[in-house]
Amino acid sequence: MRMRKRHNLAPRMEACAGFLIEDPASLRGRWRESFPGYEKMYVELGCGKGRFTVETAQQTPEALFLAIEKVPDAMILAMERAREMGLSNVRFMDFDAVNLASIFAPGEIDRIYLNFSDPWPKSRDAKFRLTAPGFLRLYADALPLGGQIHFKTDNRPLFDWSVEQFTAERWTLSEVTHDLHAAGPVGVMTDYEAKFVAEGLKINRLAATRTADTKTTAAGPVPRLRNAALSDARGNAASEQPEIRLEEETLPLCHTFFRSLVQAPELFENPADYTPYVYDPAEVDRFFAARRTGETRRYYAILLNGDVIGEVGFKHIDPADASAEMEICLINDSVKNRDYGTRATGLALKAGFAELGLETVTAESLLKNGRSQRVLKKNGFQPVSADERAIRFRISKERYQQLWEGENP
Ligand SMILES: C[S@@+](CC[C@H](N)C(=O)[O-])C[C@H]1O[C@@H](n2cnc3c(N)ncnc32)[C@H](O)[C@@H]1O
């Protein structure tokens, strides 16, 4: 996750100094005596902006919460929340979980929370996932027998992969669910979780218990992680799938698109207006030329393994407020419901924010077009208004970066 640089980080850290543990290694093996009176010691790895941390700490005064985060620009928000809430049982560490053994002695902590850990979708990055075997062995060292890891994520491929790792590393799994909030909200939500639940995504959760059989670092080198590519939260596999790419639309690409276009009657606002599309080369020439005039539009052909399967683009590009409206059209039913539209939307957003300099992208979806609404939501668009005809969605560059930076759309 890339964070926007927070202003005045140093003075803000200073103001929250009481919550920061600057030299956690000096407390290794001495946490209990340094923080007496707590029944339990819970550690959260990757606390982000800390909603889960502070609300769980508030609800659990008998436990000490140690929140670890390697991005101080995120952690400062968590620390400020803890200060505003007047909590005394939370401390923060600007620290990388990979060095966990340097701050906790064997069996020193009671529970580890992993909430919405970065998925690292590419196979070659699998070792960085916080549920990779190398990390699980560090956790097994730091937990006593019966100690637990509580893991939540919206990312089903990461969850499934993690279940395999926990099982291979001989943790005992319980409370495994693919839809934690199916019957209403359960437990404290993290910042990411609250956003994802609002978008209708399902949350996976499990508890993993360390037993005498669980592998620790004493088990020696961790296995090599082969074929470990994941899909990201949008359902887009990072590799091992057909290639989807965008190419700036040229006249020949535009002709290829219209030549294959089969318009779907259900997408017409008024079904009575529907007439099948008939390719007319001269009309396409005129259409393309008209679209090219002015700088308010930018369109891309969507290519599947090199074949045009649709187009996506921006209209109403407004340089004054760096905004534009996105629209997408796939050529026919054979390329729908296969995530191609989701992936193409992700690529277009990337181009819009990175190359066109947009700060905000909007999109409109007819009320009856549930498929398009799902595609938009999967990419992080949020509904902002609706009427009896359509729903309007919006995504900001900041939100896009927070959700997808490091992903491979
Ligand atoms: C996707 S965010 C989730 C934040 C928060 N847990 C939530 O659910 O809202 C993942 C967080 O984990 C942090 N993180 C990832 N790897 C880490 C590591 N090795 N050590 C410490 N923090 C890490 C990232 O910096 C990021 O803030």
Rounded CA gap, 274 and 266, in Å? 9
Question: Measured in angstroms, how far is the CA atom of residue 114 from the centroid of ligand 1?
Answer: 8
Q: Are residues 175 and 27 in the same domain?
A: yes
pLDDT in tens, 201-213: 899 999 999 999 9
Task: Provide the pLDDT confidence category of residue 351 given band limits of 50, 70 and 90.
Answer: very high
Is pLDDT at 251 greater than 90 in this prediction? yes
Inside any domain, residue 238: no
pLDDT at 409: 41
pLDDT in tens, 54-91: 999 999 999 999 999 999 999 999 999 999 999 999 99
Q: Are residues 367 and 290 in the same domain?
A: yes
Higher-pLDDT residue of 125 and 102 is 102
Question: Measured in angstroms, how far is the CA atom of residue 100 from the centroid of ligand 1?
Answer: 14
Inside any domain, residue 229: no
Rounded CA gap, 352 and 317, in Å? 10
Local structure of 111: helix, strand or coil: strand
Inside any domain, residue 234: no
Q: Are residues 183 and 292 in the same domain?
A: no
Is pLDDT at 106 greater than 50 in this prediction? yes
Mean pLDDT along residues 261-289: 86
pLDDT in tens, 302-316: 999 889 999 999 999
* Domain count along the chain: 2
In CATH, what number is assigned to the domain containing residue 172? 3.40.50.150
Three-state secondary structure string covering 25-90:
HHHCCCHHHHCCCCCEEEEEECCCCCHHHHHHHHHCCCEEEEEEECCHHHHHHHHHHHHHCCCCCE
Is pLDDT at 232 greater than 70 in this prediction? no
Task: Provide the pLDDT confidence category of residue 349 given band limits of 50, 70 and 90.
Answer: very high
Rounded CA gap, 45 and 47, in Å? 6
Q: How many CB atoms lie within 10 A of CB 12?
A: 16
Q: Are residues 330 and 182 in the same domain?
A: no
Spatial contact of 266 and 248, defined as CB atoms under 8 Å apart: no
Q: Which of 96, 118, 191, 321 is catalytic?
A: 118
125 is known as an active-site residue:
no
Atom of ligand 1 nearest to the CA of 47: 6
Is pLDDT at 241 greater than 80 in this prediction? no
Of the residues 203, 219, 235, which one is the last residue of a structural domain?
219
Q: Are residues 15 and 111 in the same domain?
A: yes
Q: Are residues 21 and 71 in the same domain?
A: yes
Rounded CA gap, 246 and 303, in Å? 6
The values of phi and psi at residue 342, to 5°, are -65, -45
Inside any domain, residue 409: no
Q: Are residues 257 and 327 in the same domain?
A: yes
Task: Provide the pLDDT confidence category of residue 339 given band limits of 50, 70 and 90.
Answer: confident
Q: Are residues 27 and 161 in the same domain?
A: yes
Computed over every residue of the chain, the mean pLDDT equals: 91
Dump the DSSP string for 178-224: S-TTTTS--SPPPHHHHHHHHTT---EEEEEE--TTS--GGG-SPPP
Q: Are residues 257 and 200 in the same domain?
A: no
Inside any domain, residue 89: yes
Q: How many CA atoms lie within 13 A of 137 on its CB side?
A: 14
Q: Are residues 97 and 172 in the same domain?
A: yes
What radius of gyration do the chain's Cα atoms show? 25
Spatial contact of 134 and 105, defined as CB atoms under 8 Å apart: no
Q: How many CB atoms lie within 10 A of CB 211?
A: 13
Domain around 87 = 9-219
C-beta of 97 in contact with ligand 1 (< 6 A): yes
Kindly state the greatest CA–CA separation across the chain: 82
C-beta of 134 in contact with ligand 1 (< 6 A): no
pLDDT at 408: 43
